[in-house]
Amino acid sequence: MTSHVRPNGINIRRGIVVAADSAATSAATTELGDLPTWRLEDLYDSRDGAALKADLDSATERARNFEAAWKGKLTDAAQKTGAQGLGPAIAEYDELDDLFGKIGSYAGLTYFSDTSNPANGKFYGDVQAKLTDLSSHLLFFALELNRIDDAVIDAAIARDPAVAHYQPWIVDLRKDKPFQLEDKLEQLFLDKSMTSAAAFNRLFDETMADLRFEVDGEKQSLEITLNMLQEPDPEVRAKAAAALSATFKDNLRVFTLITNTLAKDKAISDRWRGFDDIADSRHLANRVERETVDALAAAVKDAYPRLSHRYYAMKAKWLGMETMNFWDRNAPLPETPNAVIPWADAKDTVLSAYGAFSPEMADIARRFFDEQWIDAPARPGKAPGAFAHPVVPSAHPYVLVNYLGKPRDVMTLAHELGHGVHQVLAGGQGALMCQTPLTLAETASVFGEMLTFRALLEKTKDKKERKAMLAQKVEDMINTVVRQIAFYEFERKVHTARKEGELTADQIGELWLSVQEESLGPAIKISEGYETWWTYIPHFIHSPFYVYAYAFGDCLVNSLYAVYQNAAPGFQDKYFDLLKAGGSKHYSELLKPFGLDASDPAFWSKGLSMIESLIDELEALDKA
């Protein structure tokens, strides 16, 4: 493909939220306690500082020198050892990947700290442009390496330990070989990236950050408005939904343009590279077979009646409704505790759950709190959603959340810290091999959530509180599995339809409603206004077809957790080996020690059955 140099963007996870208004933030901070902000000085002291300038200068000089030293010489190098062999070349490329990633991460994290600040936007854009230009000096490396005969590469790996060290990366790289273009076209794709997909990604982010939603005469952010959908008062939920629909509708034109442009841009890239299916480029990036994803999607869709349809019918009855409005989907049960959870309690909850599984895991997670690797407050202009960004092995990850003290916020914290622990452990693989494919990228995060949930559930003896907790977990799992597969099916429909021409907002809305009605079932009433709610999902924009990774990860962790519950000997050690592997092994190889095989249809059924068993438990509690 174009390059294996680390991308400079940051993937937003766990849905999308936008920072609260300042008054709400101030009130929330008082109730929540001291919320940490991250310490970006660990990367660079400032955007104008000498350290960043020195690294940019170094990156420029080293990239040019690397091209001069190795371009056109890799076939010859593959037949040598020592200083003239491939080993030093790949090692230098690895170091450059780390350096570029550190610079790009600092710019990205600065920007996402406050996307409304024009200076942050300019800094981020300028750094992205600079790194893209410098990447042009490195573009040749992966392309030229892939043109070397397999027999020559195999011999180099067998002969030279310095090359053998990078064998997993080389083998992985060569999977891109059938889809790479000749050098000038790859250069064009790289040069145009800043003014094509990246530009529309930024337009989406900045548009979302600026949106305000009017409820009872007060304009507020998306995060606050979405939070109102979890309020006990049905009238409050209805007003919030109306405000969301109204603002989404007012901005349909720009979101429709972004969606059409990015879908067309992807189709052009896929056509030039020779991908057969609209999602094949994502499957390749994930190092997962299309058949495995198809089997997952089919298993989840087949389970809709047993999972979401059944659960929402039960919930409607608990809420005293025949059918729920679409804005009632995440409404709390009457039994749900309403107290705000202070930050200190959330920290203790997650760390104790992690520590009960593995003291080492808790120690790694504790560093995020102690060393200011977390940004927690909701504030104007702050990035939407929540994410854990790995940065680079020579530095450390950072976690962003928008913490408002809801039980789901505690689970989000557990989720993102799971990513953070994974990223710390995988860092030992180096910049080129630490990046975990999305098939396993959600493993540690979902496992961290599960540990936290199980720890809380075990402490809960009150029947009503237990019911509320189980219901919330079931809803989270439905959102992670059923909803994400519905998102995946929506994306497939949009990208397929876009091949026939530009789509109107109404057409996109119809596709959205078709998958929502199928996945939610007859207990959810889909009414006017919901047809615009596709607009705020960031994954459709930043990472097309990413969403099935959540379902993949949830089902995988359900199966993995079942192995853990059965007290499999040495589970913790095997689990840490999985996390430490990063991207150095295929997911199938990493699952073998646990006796799991994702190519087996029964694997997905086993994962889905855990969700079904929690619904069974809820039903039993209801009848008791």
Q: How far apart are CA 15 and CA 539, in angstroms?
A: 8
- As a 3-state breakdown, the chain gives helix, strand, coil percent values, each rounded to 5, of 70, 5, 30
Task: Please give the pLDDT value at position 14.
Answer: 34
DSSP codes, 6-68 = PP-----BSS---PPPHHHHHHHHHHH-------GGGT-S-TTSHHHHHHHHHHHHHHHHHHH
Task: Please give the pLDDT value at position 12.
Answer: 35
Tell me the two tokens of residue 419: 């990513």
Flag whether pLDDT at 179 surpasses 50.
yes
pLDDT confidence band for 471 (50 / 70 / 90) = very high
Per-residue pLDDT averaged across 194-204, rounded?
A: 90
Flag whether pLDDT at 137 surpasses 70.
yes
- Percentage with pLDDT > 90 across the chain: 72
pLDDT in tens, 261-315: 999 999 999 999 999 999 999 999 888 899 999 999 999 999 999 999 999 999 9
pLDDT confidence band for 466 (50 / 70 / 90) = confident
Residue ranges with strand state E in 251-403: 324-325, 374-375, 387-389, 398-400
Q: Which carries the bigger pLDDT value, residue 589 or residue 462?
A: 589
Tell me the two tokens of residue 268: 């052009």
- Dihedral (CA of 253, 258, 261, 262) sign: negative
Cβ-based neighbours of 377, under 8 Å, separated by 6 or more: 25, 29, 35, 37, 402, 403
Contact 236, 218 (CB under 8 A): no
pLDDT in tens, 3-26: 333 333 333 333 333 333 333 334
39-54 as b/e: b if 16+ CB within 10 A: ebeebbeebeeeebee
Tell me the two tokens of residue 434: 């630490």
pLDDT confidence band for 337 (50 / 70 / 90) = confident
pLDDT confidence band for 562 (50 / 70 / 90) = confident
Report the greatest alpha carbon distance in the chain: 75
Q: How far apart are CA 85 and CA 164, in angstroms?
A: 12
Flag whether pLDDT at 1 surpasses 50.
no
Question: Which of 2-6, 226-230, 537-541 has the lowest average pLDDT?
Answer: 2-6
Task: Please give the pLDDT value at position 15.
Answer: 33
Flag whether pLDDT at 438 surpasses 90.
no
Tell me the two tokens of residue 372: 């200011």
Question: Which of 18-32, 229-243, 459-473 has the lowest average pLDDT?
Answer: 18-32
Per-residue pLDDT averaged across 467-490, rounded?
A: 94
Task: Please give the pLDDT value at position 7.
Answer: 33
Q: How far apart are CA 492 and CA 514, in angstroms?
A: 12
Neighbours of 60 (CB within 10 A): 14
Q: How far apart are CA 78 and CA 145, in angstroms?
A: 9
Flag whether pLDDT at 384 surpasses 90.
no
Pairing of strands 398-400, 374-375: parallel
CA neighbours within 13 Å on the CB side: how many for 584? 20
Q: Distance from first CA to last CA of the chain, Å, rounded?
A: 58
pLDDT in tens, 59-91: 999 999 999 999 999 999 999 999 999 999 999
Rounded to 5 degrees, what are φ and ψ at 388? -120, 120
pLDDT confidence band for 240 (50 / 70 / 90) = very high
Flag whether pLDDT at 362 surpasses 80.
yes
Q: 3-class secondary structure for 389-438?
A: ECCCCCCCCEEECCCCCCHHHHHHHHHHHHHHHHHHHHHHHCCCCCCCCH
Task: Please give the pLDDT value at position 252.
Answer: 97
| pTM attached to this predicted model | 0.83
Task: Please give the pLDDT value at position 624.
Answer: 67
Per-residue pLDDT averaged across 467-487, rounded?
A: 93
pLDDT confidence band for 382 (50 / 70 / 90) = confident
Flag whether pLDDT at 138 surpasses 50.
yes
Q: How far apart are CA 216 and CA 307, in angstroms?
A: 36
Taking the mean position of all CA atoms in its chain, how far away is CA 98? 21
Instruction: Tell me the one-letter amino acid at 27.
Output: A
Per-residue pLDDT averaged across 95-105, rounded?
A: 97
Give helix 50-70 / helix 86-113 axis angle, nearest 10°: 150
Cβ-based neighbours of 592, under 8 Å, separated by 6 or more: none
Contact 553, 589 (CB under 8 A): no
Question: Which of 99-108, 362-371, 559-568, 583-592 has the lowest average pLDDT?
Answer: 559-568
